[in-house]
Amino acid sequence: MSLVSAVPDLCLKHPFRPPVSSVVTLARRRSTLPSPCPPSSVSLWNILRNNIGKDLSKVAMPVQLNEPINTLQRLCEELEYSNLLDTANQTEDPYQRMMYVATFAISAYASSYYRAGSKPFNPVLGETYECDRPDKGFRFIAEQVSHHPPVSACHSDSRNFCFWQDVRWKNKFWGKSMEIVPMGTTHVTLPAFGDHYEWNKVTSCIHNILSGQRWIEHYGEMAIKNVNSDVCQCKVTFIKAKSWSSTMNEIQGVVTDSNGKAMHTIFGKWHESVFQGDPPSATCIWRANPMPVEQEQYYGFTQFAVELNELDSSLRTMLPPTDTRFRPDQRLLEEGNIDGAEEQKQRLEQLQRERRRVLQDNNMTHQPRFFKKSKDDTWVSNNTYWELRRDPGFGKMDFPVLW
């Protein structure tokens, strides 16, 4: 398979084209959610005791276990520190460039630190999400391209990078903990140097799922390579904690040359900061943004997460009706209406079952609107979203009724 066939056309044909924003930049984004998270009265044990060792993506969960954000939006959260990729695209030294890319890959986990107590909404088939952030210099789209197995695909482009991935998870409950095993590869291209980086995600685990203080950890090895150059590679180890202690959340990494010689080392904590070099003379190359005041009352959301589901009136008419921000169960949960959110969640899931039945009865398969299968069987953008948004506009197009 040629490399060209695996890379979205947009990244190759227009490597230096800045994203054309079609959103009115909000003068001031919201700083908090409309309502704090309600106290949970749900017994997880009653739900999970019959599902030990099973794939929990197929188990219906009550809305009280959710946070008012969607898996597609969670993928966008990985771009909170996209400035690291901006810096990488302006860094001549290939070893230092790899350091910034590796740090960006680590930073994608930072927002999960305060979020062990709830789960994002599962997207329904055909659901979409866009995030146009001229202030950050990128635009992002995502779509739920498959239901069984659940697959979410996303693509982001900017003047300095292209970022894309399709992600599927396996969730398993092991009695006291829940393990989340991701599958798929994350891609980033840097147009200034023709670099194409790939890396895997590591395993996540939520501890004390039934009682006590829940906490999340990530562990395993992340291998980052530039498929267009063998000058260097990077390996980052997310260290598995022995217990809740001061040594948890640690990462260690090394950038090596083509002969395996260590050129740079990094260390730190994935939720806090990453340093380059050896202490005490190490240099901090990334630090997590401060958390909002009273974040524990608002699902542990970062400021960036708080902004993701905001629906400004100027944006409402530009989005396709399949956009997550129109999803009623998620919106009602955000507003603190638990009963209404649960009722809508069950209705949406029933609608999805009915749509699936219609497809099966007619021997048809779902065709994603904005993503396509590449030759290596991964999902990549078909590069139509932003053009269709501009002309003819989503209001003039037909979409399935998801809610």
| Interval 155-183 mean pLDDT | 90
pLDDT band at 246 (very low <50, low <70, confident <90, very high): low
Mean pLDDT score of the chain, rounded to an integer?
89
Bigger pLDDT: 207 vs 303: 303
| Interval 223-235 mean pLDDT | 97
| Interval 62-91 mean pLDDT | 96
Bigger pLDDT: 174 vs 346: 346
Please check the confidence at residue 58 and state whether its pLDDT lies above 70: no
Task: Specify whether the CB–CB gap between 380 and 142 falls below 8 A.
Answer: no
* Residues 344-402 pLDDT 10s: 999 999 999 999 999 999 999 999 999 999 988 899 999 999 999 999 999 999 999 99
Task: Specify whether the CB–CB gap between 333 and 68 falls below 8 A.
Answer: yes
Please check the confidence at residue 37 and state whether its pLDDT lies above 70: yes
Query: What whole-number distance in Å separates Cα of residue 285 and Cα of residue 68?
Result: 31
| Interval 167-174 mean pLDDT | 83
| Interval 270-281 mean pLDDT | 94
Task: Specify whether the CB–CB gap between 334 and 309 falls below 8 A.
Answer: yes
Sketch the domain layout of the chain as residue ranges.
Answer: 3-396
Segments in 260-384 forming alpha helices (H): 303-308, 313-316, 328-334, 338-361
Bigger pLDDT: 24 vs 276: 276
Question: Cα 356 vs. chain centroid, distance in angstroms?
Answer: 26
| Interval 289-298 mean pLDDT | 93
Please check the confidence at residue 168 and state whether its pLDDT lies above 60: yes
Please check the confidence at residue 206 and state whether its pLDDT lies above 80: yes
pLDDT of residue 56: 62
Q: What are phi and psi of 279, to 5 degrees?
A: -65, 150
Please check the confidence at residue 64 and state whether its pLDDT lies above 90: no
CATH of domain 3-396: 2.40.160.120
pLDDT band at 25 (very low <50, low <70, confident <90, very high): low
| Interval 174-190 mean pLDDT | 90
Please check the confidence at residue 9 and state whether its pLDDT lies above 90: no
Task: Specify whether the CB–CB gap between 122 and 61 falls below 8 A.
Answer: no
pLDDT band at 212 (very low <50, low <70, confident <90, very high): confident
